[in-house]
Structures are given as C-alpha cells and as structure tokens.
Amino acid sequence: MQKTVTTRQLIFILVISVLTLKVLFLPNVLATNIGRDGYIFLFFMLFMDFLVLLMLLYLMNKYKDKTFYEMLESMVGKIGAKIIMFLLFLYFLTRCWTRFQTSFIYLNENLYTSFDWYIFAFPILIVVVFCVMQGIKAFARLSEFFVPVIIFGFLVAFIVGVVRADFTNALPFLENGLNFMLSSHKYSLWFGDYLILILFFGRVKMDKKFNLKVILSMLSLILIIATFYAVFYFTYNYNTVCHINAISDIMQFLPSVSDIGSFDWILILIWDIALFLDLTLNTFAAVFAFSQVFTKKGSAIVATIILLVILLINYLLNFNVFMSMLIFRDYLWYYNVLVQGGIPLLLFIIGLCKRRKKDEVPVAQ
C-alpha cells in the first residue's frame, strides 16, 4: 500500500470529521435539551469518542502496512471482515445521508431564499464523485488546502464569542445534576467521527511523533469544541434555543459592521466547504467499505450509486436532518453505539490478545 497521506493531512481530515457538525446545529439541540451544562455533556461525549481514537491509533501503529480490511482479515477471518465492513458501510451511508441533508438545510436556511433540492443535489453529486475519482491523495491535499481556512474562520467566530460572552452565565454550575448523561446514547448520530480512520490504515506516512501529534491536536480540538458550546450558550443564554446555526449566529453581534455588512455569510461559505469535505470524506469511507465487501473496482461508479441511493431515500421519505436525528435517537441508536464503540473495542481487544500470543511464543520456545 502506497503511503500517500501525511500526518498533517490526516490531522486536518480528522479536524473536518470532528468539527464540522459539532458547531452547526448540535449546539442548538444541546441547548434545547440540556441547556447551560451542555458543554460538560459535549466534553464527555467527545472524550468517549477520543477513547475510540486511541484504540484505532493503537491498531494503526500495530498494523502499519496493512489496510483496515487486511487487518480485519487477519483478526477475524474473511467472513468476519466482510460482515464488519458491511456494518461500517451502512454506518457511513447513514452519515453521508445526514451530511447531505445538513448541507441542504444549512444552505436553505442561511444563504438562499428558496433553494431547489435538485439544483442543490446534482451539482454536489458531480463534485463529490469527481473528488472520489481523484483518489484519497488528492482529497487529503484538498483538505490540507481548505482546513486552515476553516480553522481560521472557526477561531475568528470563537474569539468573537469569547469577547462577547458573559461567562457568569455558567452559573449555577450543574444546577440539575448530571441527569442528562443518561440520555447520551440518543446523541450518537453526532459522534463516532474517528471511525473515518479506517480509510487511512496503511496509508499514512507516520512522522516521528505521529501519535503525540494526533492525540494532542484532537485533545485540543475537543477542548475548543466544548468551550465553543459554552461560549455560544453564554453569549445568548436563554435565547440560545432560537439560534439554530451556531457557527454563523455567533458572529451576528459584531460591533460596528453595519456599514460594511455582517461577516457571518463568509463563515457560512467557509462552513459550506467544511460540510462538503465531510460529506466527501464519508462517501470515501462508504465506497471503501462497499468495495471491500462486494467489488474492488470502479470507485466513481460506487460513489455515484451511493449518492443516488441517498437522493432516492430523500425523495421517497422526504426526511431532514432533524427528522433523521429523531429516528436515530429513538430507533437506531443501538446500531450506532454498536458500530461507534463496539467494533473498535472488539478489534482493540483482539489486537491486544494477538500481541500477548506473540509475546508468549518466544517464551515457549
């Protein structure tokens, strides 16, 4: 396997995967359901995800030259590998779907008066398929190209928020206790981002401090996201429930911009890019999982089919991201939890056991 992705690119891709949806509609959902202490909840959930990252990193380091599928084959056999890949395929398919929907709702709400779904869907389909055709190397570079811009935009919004937020709104601390933690499984739709790493097994040129870099950058990202929620809530306090789109709404009270216009639309455009990258990334993962199970050829065709299936589902069911969130919350959360936590944990344990076996062999000899 050719090592085509650098450590820096991998970190940027993870940033896209983790950051994009967390600062869009999720803060509003958390503000409505949890409220003031949502940042603690968000931090907890992100940290749980972070544990998955650690497991996957361990496996990545252990099977440096193997792709994810090859690693699976060596762990659970061919049939087991195919089953896991199929589960992952379904998982990424649903993620593509939510991202597709989010993009549409996001643009329709923020940038267009009335945005025709088909005018939105087909151009994006063409560009995503084109990206998939160009391969993961080009995509990694694309992320590297745009993620600094995205991070910059995010930080500007973050700083504006920090300046304007009233941090005393954090009080009273944990007024209603930690009861909200009991409903954490219901938010599984928004998490489980590190599974995207399955694409990069055996493909990353690992730096000397690869693990440290990834872990530190992700930890700081987790902190920033949780703080962002806090800042967002502290800025708007009770009114947060009326602010659906966190990332651009936080910019709206910028002082003295009335003569040159509000800048939140620039942030909206930047987040349009982020959403596209996230969608493409998940399409890549879905194509990867699908092609390991069924066919190894024609990634562009597979991507087209996947996206067309999504369009069809949308056409037939006419769901939106909030509807799909409700479905996930009520019916499909156990599937999400199984894939997000169960599979990495299973593989991690098998990985650990295999090492022990290896260790035991020389002793026996």
Partner 1 sequence: MDNIIAEKRVLGIKKEFLDSPDIITKNIDLGKKKMSIIFIDELCNQEEINRSIIFPINRFIEKDFTLEELQDEIINFCNAEILEEKDIENKILRGFAVLFIDGDNRALGFNTVMYPGRGVEEPPTSTVISGPREGFTETLKINLSLIRKRLPSKNLKVEEIVVGRRTKTRVNLVYFNDIVDIKVVDEIKKKLSNYDIDGVMDSYYLVKFLENKPNSIFRQVGNCEKPDIACAKILEGRVVILVDGTPIALTIPYIMFEDFQSSNDYYSDAHRVSILRIIRVLGLFISIFLPGMYIALQLYHYKVLPLKFLVTIVNTTQNLPLNPFLEIFFIIVLFDILFEASVRMPKYLGMAISIVGALILGDTAVKAGLVSPPGVMIVALSAITVYIIPNQSSQISLLRIVFAIIGGTLGFHGIILGMLFLIVYLCNFDSFSTPYLAPYTPYIKGDLKDFVLKDSLTTMTSRPESIPNKNKTRMIRKEKEDAKDSNN
Partner 2 sequence: MKYLWHNKILLVILILFVVMFPVAISLPQQSRSENIVTAIGIDKSGEEYEVSLQYLIPYAGSSQDALKCASMKGRTVGEAIEKFNLDFGKVSGFAHCRVVVFNDEASDGNLTEVLDYLQRIKTNTNNIYLVNTKDSAKDLLASVQDLNSEFYVILSRDSVAGQHNHYQSLKSFGEYYDSILGPVKCIAINNIDLENNQGTGTSGSSNGAEGGGGNSSGESSSSSSDSSQGGSSGGSGSSSGDSQSSSGGDASKSSKIKNDGKLIIIKDSKRLITLSPEESDNLNWFNADVKDMTLQITDFTDEIYKNVDITFDISKRYSKIETYFKDGSPRYKLKLSVNATIIEVIEDEITKVEFVPINNLFSNKLKVFIAEKIKEKLKKAEENFKEYRYDVVDCYETFHKFNTREFKKYLDSLGDDEYFLDNIIFEYEVDIRQWD
- The first and second tokens of residue 359, run together, are 């260790």
- Residue number, 116 or 175, with CB nearest to partner 1: 116
Residue 249 contact among partner 2, partner 1, none, beta carbon within 5 to 8 Å by kind: partner 2
- Residue number, 168 or 258, with CB nearest to partner 1: 258
- Residues in contact with partner 2 by CB under 8 A are 108-109, 113, 126, 168-169, 171-172, 175, 236-239, 241-243, 249, 252-253, 255-256, 258
- Residue number, 146 or 335, with CB nearest to partner 1: 146
Q: How far is CA 121 from CA 100, 282, 307, 325, in A?
A: 8, 16, 9, 20
Span 102-141, contacts to partner 1 by CB under 8 A: 107, 111-113, 115, 119-120, 123-124, 127, 130-131, 134-135, 137-139, 141
Min dist CB 206 to partner 1, Å, is 15
Residue 207 binds partner 1, judged by CB under 8 A: no
Residue 259 binds partner 1, judged by CB under 8 A: yes
- Residue number, 108 or 217, with CB nearest to partner 2: 108
130 contacts 280 by C-beta, under 8 angstroms: no
- Residue number, 195 or 303, with CB nearest to partner 1: 303
Span 223-242, contacts to partner 1 by CB under 8 A: none
The helix (H) or strand (E) run that includes residue 5 is strand 5-6
| Contacts of range 76-85, beta carbons closer than 8 Å, 24 or more positions apart | 76/350, 81/292, 82/292, 82/293, 84/343, 85/289, 85/292, 85/293
Amino acid at 184: S
Residue 322 binds partner 1, judged by CB under 8 A: no
Min dist CB 121 to partner 1, Å, is 11
CA distance 258 to 62: 56
CB neighbour burial string for 41-75, b if at least 16 within 10 angstroms, e if fewer? bbbebbeebbebbbbbbbbbeebeebbbbbbbbeb
Min dist CB 224 to partner 2, Å, is 24
**Interacting residue with partner 1 among 152, 167, 238, 265 (CB under 8 A):** 265
Residue 260 binds partner 1, judged by CB under 8 A: yes
Amino acid at 102: T
Residue 319 contact among partner 2, partner 1, none, beta carbon within 5 to 8 Å by kind: none
**In angstroms, how far is the first alpha carbon of the chain from the final one?**
33
Whether the bond between 172 and the residue before it is cis, its omega within 30 degrees of 0, is yes
Min dist CB 119 to partner 2, Å, is 8
Size of the site for partner 1 (CB under 8 A): 35
- Residue number, 139 or 180, with CB nearest to partner 1: 139
Helices (H), the chain: 7-22, 26-33, 38-62, 68-110, 117-164, 210-236, 246-249, 264-293, 299-317, 321-327, 333-337, 343-364
Contact residues for partner 1, defined by CB under 8 A: 6, 8-9, 107, 111-113, 115, 119-120, 123-124, 127, 130-131, 134-135, 137-139, 141-142, 144-146, 258-262, 265, 269, 272-273, 276
